[in-house]
Structure 1
């Protein structure tokens, strides 16, 4: 089941953004990682079998305050 996870991450500098993207990409089962939003505060992760809670806890520990905004199944086109 492919899913899309959108998380709000407290990223105060470019180094924090880079670190968040690297951690998201290193997670098991991830196909796509990107930033969205006006000030690039939302981290989007798309993948198959990604553990959202584990990823959120890792981002909280390494980057800063992280909250899951949405978790949705991606429809195959």
Structure 2
């Protein structure tokens, strides 16, 4: 199940703390993408089967304060629409066996006769 998690962070003013927050968020298993909204101090994580408690705990360890704002499931409408479409006409090509080539056996090796005699 794909889900979207929004977490409020305390101090993400400088570049070092922003990079640390992104690195921590992306390192959690199941995270597909993470975006950081600097003006609001929010990080938005999208992924499949993300452990929200583990993600929040790791962000708290690295940035001292993190609070879960919301957890929502994301529906994939595009894939459902693609599945409903009728399959296009397909052509099936039947190929026979590859051609077989017959080779004549090699003549036995004969030593050349002595040219001196």
**TM-score when normalising by structure 1:** 0.92
Q: What is the Cα deviation at residue 36 of structure 1?
A: 2.2
Flag structure 2 segments of 5+ consecutive residues without an equivalent: 78-117
Q: In the alignment, what sits opposite 2:41?
A: 41
CA distance in 1 between partners of 2:15 and 2:6 (Å) = 19
Divergent runs of 4+, >6 A: none
Which structure has the larger Rg? Answer: 2
Specify the SS of the correspondent of 2:56.
Answer: helix
CA distance in 2 between partners of 1:22 and 1:40 (Å) = 19
Specify the SS of the correspondent of 1:75.
Answer: coil
- Greater strand share, structure number: 1
CA RMSD of aligned residues (A): 1.2
Q: What is the Cα deviation at residue 14 of structure 1?
A: 1.4
Q: How many aligned positions are there?
A: 76
**TM-score when normalising by structure 2:** 0.62
Name the structure, 1 or 2, with higher relative contact order (CA <8 Å, separation 6+).
1
Q: In the alignment, what sits opposite 2:7?
A: 7
CA distance in 1 between partners of 2:19 and 2:37 (Å) = 14
Flag structure 1 segments of 5+ consecutive residues without an equivalent: none
